[in-house]
């Protein structure tokens, strides 16, 4: 086990190197001149000589691979450079806004499970009934809706018409971003309900479930203890993907509901060409994705003893 | 059973599945609406009542009716015309993304699964790397470095999505490869290229087509979403995501600016998803 984890951690390195290299390669191809941007910050209206001075001092006159290695060296030491727009360390910029994104992601996750798990179970148990059909229709709608549009509509309904939430901030007066979280979950409700229905449904048709029923074990116990346990893995895998998306792709929701999270910072960095912040965001999130995927694999072997790492 | 007979039977089974998939009401309703929108996109210059880019301040924020069937936006541009032209951008960009991802993903998956060994290991590593990149982060990176535009968005989305098809194609190829008739084909002296194209690809095509159709809806949503936050198509292009983004400043006073484009997006995505589900139900072999 320890050996496996070590191996996987080592395998992470080429992935992260590839992502950062690609990103660096793209930056080097883009128009803008970072030396000029920096020189303008220092000198106001820099002469060409001053720009060249900055270029030399920052190592921007070196060949591209050397620049990449220099950047990497700094990153290993925890230095992502300073934000062009605020002058503060890029990593600090990002982590300062992380709690807002985390709050949104956690709220979305809890809400998602509170809605999808019961509906999924209900739909699996009552397969083919009217209730199941209604739930299936809801699932179909859920995967076809543009989340951001529903977000705007909800903001209009709750913010403008009913005045239950603030139009700026999207937070209900209780402080929990419930409407934003719901908007986030729209596309995922359908996916998760269907997944639970398919997996639980196929488990419930197995012979041993019938045997349990014949033995007189209560339906609730059969579903929760035997059915859910055996349809847990695919649901877990998919949920992890959703959590990753919630952490990385929150920019749309944050922008609609004016939440100051990392997604919004990243968007602003794109607009203002704030490369250090952008690079930090991309590297940190890629690392999160890789680590989370590793955790899933480890969790698999803990939950299911048959999987050997 | 001789090889010839077996082949005839397989073909007819395939035909039966296609017929079944195309006959289901889901597929039919979806197809009718999708084709309608494709026609609208193609015929946009002929059927749009006004110039979608013509700014006219005196006509701004007019209610539906008369010269502007769905009213005008904050710059006095005809909303209906913008929606009609918007279908061009939304549909063509989605089809381009889908085409590129299929063209990259399917061959790589085929080779990886069929050749196996070291080539497979290396290709899978590369696929893993691309699967580890969230599409939002890549879109952000590309928009941040190359600038935000429709073309760069297509580039970013293609860069991420192909890996999914490569993985699926590889898994399906492995399944087909394990079957007995593959050995018979090889023993019979069939070339690798022929086996790959005529036998493997033909067998796995229905599953890939079903997934691809299912994906069109989510690609349309993603393109609109990225344009909405400014990472994709840029204003004043009449694109649905841009229209929604423009409507934000007026949504307290003129909610129709945001309601109408949203409804159009929902209808299109629903239609493509209907086709996808219908195909999936019919084409998925009951293995």
Could you tell me the residue ranges of all domains in chain B?
Answer: 25-45+55-283
Q: Give the domain A98-272 fold.
A: MetI-like fold (1.10.3720)
Domain range B25-45+55-283, CATH architecture: Orthogonal Bundle (1.10)
The confidence band for B37, taking pLDDT boundaries of 50, 70 and 90, is very high
Specify the higher pLDDT residue, A194 or A20: A194
Per-residue pLDDT at A43: 75
A94 interfacial to chain B (CB closer than 8 Å): no
Taking the model in full, what pTM does it have?
A: 0.83
Q: Which two tokens stand for residue A223?
A: 């579903």
DSSP state of B230: T
Q: Which two tokens stand for residue A305?
A: 């003893």
pLDDT in tens, B70-95: 777 777 788 888 899 999 988 999 99
The confidence band for B1, taking pLDDT boundaries of 50, 70 and 90, is very low
- What's chain A's average pLDDT? 81
CA nearest neighbour of A32 among A272, A308, A199, A267: A272
Q: How far, in Å, CA of A219 to CA of B7, rounded?
A: 48
| Burial bucket for residue B121 (CB in 10 Å: 0-12, 13-18, 19+) | exposed
The top-scoring range by mean pLDDT among A11-25, A97-111, B174-188 is: A97-111
Q: Which residue of B has its CA nearest to A161?
A: B252
User: ipTM of this predicted complex?
Assistant: 0.78
Per-residue pLDDT, averaged over B188-217, amounts to 84
Per-residue pLDDT, averaged over B160-169, amounts to 89
Q: In this complex, do A252 and B228 lie within 8 Å of one another by their Cβ atoms?
A: yes
Q: Are B219 and B241 in contact (CB under 8 A)?
A: no
Per-residue pLDDT at A127: 84
CA nearest neighbour of B250 among A167, A16, A176: A167
CA nearest neighbour of B163 among B106, B201, B211: B106
Average the pLDDT over each of A83-87, B222-226, B230-234 and give the range with the smallest value. Answer: A83-87
Give the number of residues written for chain A: 309
Task: Check pLDDT > 80 for residue A201.
Answer: yes
Contact residues, chain B to chain A, C-beta under 8 Å: 125, 128-129, 132-137, 140-148, 217-218, 221, 224-225, 228-231, 244, 247-248, 251-252, 255, 258-259, 261-262, 265-266, 269-270, 273, 277
pLDDT in tens, A213-239: 888 888 888 887 777 777 777 787 778
Could you tell me the residue ranges of all domains in chain A?
Answer: 2-74, 98-272
Q: How close, in Å, is residue B15 to chain A by CA atoms?
A: 27
DSSP tally for chain B: helices H, then strands E: 12, 0
Size of interface A-B (CB pairs under 8 A): 126
């Amino acid at each position: 086990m320890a050996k496996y984890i070590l191996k996987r951690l080592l395998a992470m390195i080429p992935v992260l190197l590839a992502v950062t290299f690609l990103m660096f390669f793209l930056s080097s191809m883009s128009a803008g001149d970072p030396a000029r941007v920096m020189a303008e910050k220092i000198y106001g209206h820099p002469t060409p000589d001053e720009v060249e001075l900055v270029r030399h001092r920052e190592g921007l006159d070196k060949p591209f691979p050397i620049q990449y290695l220099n950047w990497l060296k700094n990153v290993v030491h925890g230095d992502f450079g300073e934000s062009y727009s605020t002058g503060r360390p890029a990593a600090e910029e990002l982590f300062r806004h992380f709690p807002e994104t985390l709050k949104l992601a956690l709220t979305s996750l809890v809400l998602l499970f509170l809605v999808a798990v019961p509906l999924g179970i209900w739909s699996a148990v009552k397969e083919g009934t009217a209730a199941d059909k209604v739930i299936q229709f809801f699932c179909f709608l859920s995967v076809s809706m543009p989340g951001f549009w529903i977000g705007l509509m909800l903001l209009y309904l709750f913010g403008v018409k009913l005045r239950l939430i603030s139009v700026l901030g999207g937070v209900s007066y209780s402080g929990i971003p419930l409407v934003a979280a719901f908007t986030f979950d729209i596309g995922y409700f359908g996916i998760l309900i269907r997944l639970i229905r398919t997996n639980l449904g196929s488990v419930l048709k197995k012979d041993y479930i019938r045997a349990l029923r014949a033995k007189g074990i209560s339906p609730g116990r059969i579903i929760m203890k035997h059915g859910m346990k055996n349809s847990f893995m695919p649901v877990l895998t998919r949920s992890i993907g959703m959590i990753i998306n919630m952490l990385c792709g929150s920019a749309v929701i944050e922008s609609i509901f004016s939440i100051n999270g990392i997604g919004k910072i990243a968007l602003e960095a794109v607009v203002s060409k704030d490369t250090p912040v952008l690079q930090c965001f991309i590297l940190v999130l890629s690392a999160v994705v890789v680590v989370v995927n590793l955790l899933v694999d480890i969790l698999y072997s803990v939950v299911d003893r048959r999987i050997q790492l | 059973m001789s090889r010839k007979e077996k082949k005839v039977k397989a073909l007819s089974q395939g035909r039966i599945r296609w017929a079944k998939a195309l006959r289901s009401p889901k597929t039919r309703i979806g197809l009718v609406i999708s084709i309608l929108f494709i026609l609208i996109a193609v015929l946009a210059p002929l059927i749009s009542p006004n110039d979608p880019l013509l700014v006219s301040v005196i006509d701004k924020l007019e209610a539906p009716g008369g010269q502007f069937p769905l009213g005008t936006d904050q710059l006095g541009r005809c909303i209906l015309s913008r929606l009609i032209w918007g279908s061009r951008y939304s549909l063509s960009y989605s089809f381009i993304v889908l085409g590129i991802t299929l063209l990259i993903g399917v061959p790589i998956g085929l080779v990886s699964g069929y050749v196996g060994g070291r080539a497979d290991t290396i290709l899978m590593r590369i696929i893993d790397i691309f699967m580890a990149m969230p599409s939002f982060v890549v879109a952000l990176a590309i928009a941040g470095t190359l600038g935000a535009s429709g073309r760069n968005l297509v580039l970013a989305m293609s860069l991420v999505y192909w890996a999914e098809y490569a993985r699926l194609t590889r898994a399906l190829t492995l399944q087909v490869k394990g079957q007995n008739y593959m050995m018979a084909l090889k023993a019979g002296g069939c070339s690798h290229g022929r086996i790959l194209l005529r036998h493997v690809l033909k067998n796995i095509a229905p599953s890939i087509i079903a997934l691809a159709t299912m994906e069109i809806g989510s690609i349309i949503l993603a393109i609109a979403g990225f344009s909405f936050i400014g990472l994709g198509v840029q204003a004043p292009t009449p694109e649905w995501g841009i229209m929604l983004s423009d409507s934000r400043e007026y949504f307290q006073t003129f909610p129709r600016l945001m309601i109408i484009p949203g409804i159009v997006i929902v209808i299109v995505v629903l239609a493509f998803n209907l086709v996808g589900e219908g195909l999936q139900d019919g084409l998925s072999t009951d293995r």
